[in-house]
Chain A
Amino acid sequence: MLRRVPPSLRRGLLSSASTHYGGAQILNSSHSPSKSLLPQWRRRASVASTSAPPPPRPPSPPRGPSRSGGGGPTVSSLNPAEVAKFAAIAETWWDASGPFKPLHLMNPTRLSFIRSTLCRHFRRDPYSSKPLEGLKVIDVGCGGGILSEPLARMGATVTAIDAVEKNIKIASIHAASDPTTASIEYCCTTAEALVKEKRLFDAVISLEVIEHVANPLEFCESLSALTVPNGATVVSTINRSMRAYATAIVAAEYILRWLPRGTHEWSKLVTPEELSLMLQKASISVEEMAGFVYNPLSGHVIVLGPLEGTRGRAGIRIGGGTPTLKYTRWQAIF
């Protein structure tokens, strides 16, 4: 089911990212003990594409009872408390040194990852200034649009949805000031609602959202249902590791106070294997995975390709040596 990415591609990913941060050092296991006090964000992004047999779409995602949600825009996999949390800080979306600073700092790195993987997947020219021209892309959980706007500038026809109405307002006001991004279709809705409308997209992107939804599996199924056959799905989230706890929760929320306390809940974080299994259940085959580390002190975001993971204990493989699992091994070493 899982397809492995040729090492050359992964290396390509690594090197392409490191050119953006030429001075950055790849942190490896030998460094980490001495730097264990540095708050670091541990992130993971995975790109997956639906495999040849298209997933059962319209009549699909099994809905939980949580969907009923009385008032507000809350539907199915949404968690009302999480929605309220983000509404409170919505105005600061475009303040690069505000609560969303980590996202602003990560943005170039994750965008270059998305760009290069989508270019490979859809066979686009990576040297084009608008490589995503003609692709219908949806940004699920767009927030203030800090991902949607760059995607639109890369040429994509972007639909961006968020459950927080305030976010959508801010995002549309911000996007309207630039003709290139003014074409973004912002909607205050949910992935589930769009599935009901039978909307389909070439690429479905949902970054840093899955850890905030009530039912991650249902959410994955909705993402799958929104993706055209042979389309691409990109999901990213914070790993549930001790390092992520130390950085994303303790450092970012309590020490540096970039984020309001309680933005992330430890128990809701998703590990790469869990995500991988959920995506498989949702008929998405995982094709590429990469780790991100953000070091707030140096300000560098580093992409850690899964290839790196084989270095320490290459021999140990669980479940047939998928990139995911090798990556897990490596995380454990890290």
Chain B
Amino acid sequence: MLSRRRCFTAAANRIRPLARAFCDAPAPRADAAPGGAPGSQDRTQEVGGVKAAPDVLDVAIVGGGMVGLAVACALSNMPLTKHLRVAIIDSNPALKSRNHLTKNSIPDSRVSTVTPATISFFKDIGAWEHVQQQRHAFFGKMQVWDYTGLGYTRYNARDVGKEYLGCVVENKVLCNSLLLRFQEELDDIESVIYPTRLVSLTFPSISKQAGMKPTSSEPLSAGHATEELHRSNLVKLDLSDGRTLYSKLVIGADGSKSNVRQIAGIKTTGWNYPQSAIICTVEHVVENDCAWQRFLPSGPIALLPIGNNFSNIVWTMSPEESLRHKSMSPEEFVKSVNHALDFGYGPHPRSSALDHYMEKFFSGIGNTAASTKECFEVPPKATGVVSERMAFPLSLMHSHDYVSKRLALVGDAAHTVHPLAGQGVNLGFGDAAALAKVIAEGVSVGSDVGDLTLLQRYEKDRKAANVAMAAVLDGFQKMYSVDFGPLNVVRAAAFHGAQYISPLKRNIISYAMGDTKWPIFS
């Protein structure tokens, strides 16, 4: 009876030393001060490698921008995923910063409007307290209007019982806060961040992806090094400093021109808008506490408070205009900004008698939103431009797939949207939160973190939400890029509706704040 039993323990035993070296320690690199270098030496010795054993990782994040760092931070913050061996590959020197940024300097022109949903994600992963110690500006009011003077909408956080609608934070502050939080979780952050670039990415061969075929050439009996067998199932990352990493999962967080996405051969859909955005920081005499957005024939201009009498400008216009505005003198530019935010292109909007009836009618359905009675205001004048002006082209891009075997795309690598409502990075943080959660679920049920069926849950969760937002913003962009009589009236009606129909107004606010997933009444 016993002789008939066929055991494969022999094979298992051969592999065991390596298994111990790589896996048994609960937190191979993070914990225990001497864990870093000696540990890796042990590895080298135990596998008896000819060359230095390259690092084998669970998760390799390509791109240490806001979204990539958010994934790393979220993974290091959850009990189920904190043991995962994570690496961040990015040559950006900003990743070496380990201190709070001073609040006294002039704000950077690259800012993000983070929604309450993003703020609560940051609070969950413990990074928000670092943001609070650096420059940030909450705003509780927002005014949107257009150049025709036919209508305006004011939003107030009190409409939905909140204290603020969002918060404007410099991108470098967001990155820095995530880094600081990440550092708190890991003692040895240097070993996690690889200040280098990705040269090439090799995914496991097709036959491995489709499942193992029991062919005679399988390495089990062929006497291949077990080490090689393990790696053959992982993604190989070659770095520009000559190092090679192997990872169970690669996360592409390397922006809209994602190298990872291109190597993986994932196709995208999208188009370029015939527009560029100019961003810069301007100064006021008084502090600005409201977010302003005016739709002009060429595109929207937004004035976002960033604290200390400073505001950020995001001005969308044709590429030629943007070049002109970039090169004109600062005085001329300030004049042009003030013109665009005030009387330029058309008159100030006013409310009409019809609005009064509409408000009366809809106040019967629910409580009237606080901001419904607010009158149109003129934004504060800019007195000077204090940063350099940067221009970049705008596009809509959506990746056909967010995941494939051992790969997930997050943030701009998976989708870019029109910046008109400042939603881009918030969608990215939504991706980061969803992906980290799915990985934690996978760990809890013992899945391989690079398993396609697991990653598809992340894709399913995020794709619909991202496509909906991209469509809404694209619709806005299209609607406001045409100066055509009847359409102007429709737009005006939309403004009036959003201003005076309180339930609609509340719904718009919730969607823009990231509280609801769908742009319809939900």
Binding site for B on A (CB under 8 A): 20, 73, 75, 90-96, 98, 104-105, 107-108, 111-112, 115, 127-130, 149-154, 165-166, 168-170, 172-180, 182-189, 193, 196-197
Contact = CB atoms under 8 A, between A and B. Distances in A.
Nearest to A196: B1
B229 interface: yes
Contact of B230 (A151, A178, A184): A178
A183 B19 contact: yes
B1 A185 contact: no
A153 B6 CA distance: 24
Nearest to A101: B453
Contacts of B233: 177-178
Contact of A115 (B8, B211, B213, B445): B445
Contact of B23 (A90, A98, A180): A180
Given A93-B211, A177-B229, A187 B445 contact: no
B16 A165 contact: no
Given A168-B8, A180-B19, A182-B19, A149 B446 contact: yes
A127 B4 CA distance: 41
B211 A150 contact: no
B220 A154 contact: no
B230 A193 contact: no
10 contacts: A96-B453, A112-B445, A129-B26, A170-B214, A179-B15, A183-B15, A186-B7, A186-B9, A187-B7, A188-B6
A150 B9 contact: no
Interface residues of B, number: 47
Contacts of B18: 179, 182
Contacts of B211: 91-95, 98, 174
A324 B336 CA distance: 77
Contacts of A93: 211
B185 interface: no
Contacts of A107: 445
A108 B441 contact: yes
Nearest to B81: A129
B22 interface: yes
B81 A168 contact: no
A177 B1 contact: no
A107 B446 CA distance: 10
Given A73-B4, A149-B446, A187-B9, A129 B212 contact: no
A150 B446 contact: yes
Contact of A186 (B12, B81, B229): B12
Interface in B330-366: none
A198 B421 CA distance: 68
A115 B210 CA distance: 28
Interface in B226-251: 226, 229-230, 232-233
Given A179-B230, A186-B9, 10 more contacts: A94-B211, A112-B445, A130-B26, A151-B446, A152-B446, A154-B446, A169-B214, A180-B19, A188-B7, A196-B1
B452 interface: yes
Contacts of B454: 108
